[in-house]
Amino acid sequence: MPALPFPRTLATLLLLALPLGFALTDLRLLAWDAALPVFEWMGRSWFGVIGKTWGVAFALVQALHLLSMALLGGAVLIADLHLLGVVARFADSDTLLTDLHRLFRISLWVVLPSGFFMACGVSMKVYYLPVFWYKMLALAVGIFFVFLIRQPLLEQGTAAVRPAVLRLLAVSSLMTWFTVAATGRWIGFSG
């Protein structure tokens, strides 16, 4: 038995309280100011210089980023629509969800470094774009939600979880990754 009765619930409440406190105080602006040297360094780094100088390098990495996002989005969509009872209704849920989570993990390992490379190439543009920070927030929420709550819960077997909770998991997961994808395209669309 853990030392605290509901460790995951308490961790979730803490993870919700921290960004709320951050957003509602001046800490947000202080952190934004403090992040400027990091973004300036990103622009001066090898990745930043390559991304800004050789369009072909940026395009190739962006293609890799978009394809791995497609893979990640596909894994999320199939898993969540399966949990909602829309696709693969007769498949073995636990096997399907385990396979899709593996695909999700692999694609995330491509998405993160390729996204970092791209951010280096346009570091000052994204630093001043509010939508970039919302994308990072949605991405962090998505990653925390998957690895701290969703997957540990699904690993117990879908039969052990209330159907309403499974549906809530699916809907909230779709909302998170929809926001990550939409804000990502918004960054691309912004000057």
Partner 1 sequence: MSSAAHYSKSKDLQLAAVIGGVAIAAGFCLYWYVQIRDTLDMLEMAYG
**CB of 11: closest distance to partner 1 in angstroms?**
7
Interface positions, 51-110, toward partner 1 (CB under 8 A): none
**CB of 23: closest distance to partner 1 in angstroms?**
10
Nearest CA to 69 out of 97, 107, 101 is that of 107
Contact code string over 130-169 relative to partner 1, x by CB under 8 A: ----x------x---x--xxx-xx--x---xxx--x--xx
The nearer residue to partner 1, 101 or 150, going by C-beta atoms, is 150
Q: d(Cα 95, Cα 44) in Å, to the nearest integer?
A: 45
The nearer residue to partner 1, 23 or 38, going by C-beta atoms, is 23
Q: d(Cα 100, Cα 178) in Å, to the nearest integer?
A: 17
- What 3 state SS string does 125-182 have? HHHCCHHHHHHHHHHHHHHHHHHHHHHHHHCCCHHHCCHHHHHHHHHHHHHHHHHHHH
The nearer residue to partner 1, 56 or 159, going by C-beta atoms, is 159
Q: Is 16 in the site for partner 1 (CB under 8 A)?
A: yes
Number of residues that make up the chain? 191
Sole binder of partner 1 in the list 9, 36, 59, 92 (CB under 8 A): 9
* Per-residue CA distances from 89 to 129, 158, 191 (Å): 41, 13, 43
Phi-psi region of 91 (alpha: psi -120 to 50; beta: other; left: phi over 0): beta
**CB of 72: closest distance to partner 1 in angstroms?**
17
Only one of the segments 62-70, 79-87, 95-103, 174-182 lies at the binding site for partner 1 (rule: CB under 8 A); that segment is 174-182
The nearer residue to partner 1, 75 or 180, going by C-beta atoms, is 180
Q: d(Cα 156, Cα 19) in Å, to the nearest integer?
A: 29
Q: d(Cα 147, Cα 154) in Å, to the nearest integer?
A: 11
Sole binder of partner 1 in the list 179, 181, 187, 190 (CB under 8 A): 179
- The contact set with partner 1 (CB under 8 A) reads 1, 5-9, 11-13, 16, 134, 141, 145, 148-150, 152-153, 156, 160-162, 165, 168-169, 171-172, 175-176, 178-179
